Amino acid sequence: MPKPMKTAKHKLNSAHVHGALIIAGFLGLVTGSWLIFALAAGALVFTSIQDGSIRI
């Protein structure tokens, strides 16, 4: 079975999520807290969805 082609929308969504995880990872690393990582990741992804950067 051939793999489905990734569209530009999927690639952009992936880039935004990876960026959010990198920023959240940095914040979690600096504070030494998994909770801060989780909250930052959730907040960044949520705001990206709300402002239309991540299209569902």
pLDDT confidence of residue 1 = 72
pLDDT confidence of residue 2 = 75
pTM (two decimals): 0.85
**Please, how many CA atoms are within 13 Å of residue 48, restricted to the half-sphere of its CB?**
20
pLDDT confidence of residue 50 = 96
pLDDT of 11-42, one tens digit each? 999 999 999 999 999 999 999 999 999 999 99
